[in-house]
Amino acid sequence: MIETLTLIALYGLIFFLSLAETALVKISPTQIYSLQGRNKLKARKLTKIKENMGKTLTSILTLQSLSKVAVASVSAIVLTSLFGVLGALGSIAATFLLMLFVGNIVPKTLALQNTEEIALMVAAPVMILSKVVAPISLPLSYLFRKVNIKGKKKELTLNDLEVTIDFAREKEILTSIQKKAIMNIILKSALTRRNQNG
Nearest of 58, 40, 32 to residue 118 by alpha carbon = 32
pLDDT on residue 156: 53
Question: Which sign, positive or negative, has the C-alpha torsion 130, 131, 132, 135?
Answer: positive
pLDDT on residue 11: 93
pLDDT on residue 142: 66
Instruction: Report DSSP state, residue 36.
Output: G
Question: How far apart, in whole angstroms, are the C-alpha atoms of residue 51 and residue 58?
Answer: 14
Question: How far apart, in whole angstroms, are the C-alpha atoms of residue 114 and residue 73?
Answer: 33
Amino acid at 31: Q
Mean pLDDT, each 10-residue run in order, the chain (198 residues):
86 95 90 81 88 85 90 87 81 90 94 92 91 77 59 54 61 59 64 61
pLDDT on residue 157: 58
pLDDT on residue 114: 93
Q: Cα angle vertex 84, ends 79, 90, to 5°?
A: 50
